[in-house]
Amino acid sequence: MYFTVSLAILVTMVLAVIRALKGPSVYDRVLAVNMFGTKTALLLSVVAFLYGRPDFLDLALIYALINFVGVLAVLEFFQKRSAAQGHTTKD
């Protein structure tokens, strides 16, 4: 049962990687990275039970937290770049 679900998540990870490789825009790739991070957290929480060691859920927890920092860093990078190129960011 866990195995079926983890297989589904694995296939989704493959699809996300294909999206990250194809692009075409940089935003698509960031989207794929974000999606991949969520899938990793899910996969780890399922595999922890598949292995019968539920105390390893800490790992999935850290993925759920750290992935967000990566996306925000990318966002700040975009903001810096557009400021450097002279575009005015309006919001």
Least gap, CB of 63 to other proteins (angstroms) = 6
Least gap, CB of 85 to other proteins (angstroms) = 10
Residue ranges of alpha helices (H) inside 1-91 are: 2-22, 26-50, 57-84
Least gap, CB of 51 to other proteins (angstroms) = 7
CA 72, 78, 84, 87 dihedral sign is negative
Q: Per-residue contact track with other proteins, 20 to 59, x per CB under 8 A?
A: xx-xxxxxxxxxxxxxxxxxxxxxxxxx-x-xxxxxxxxx
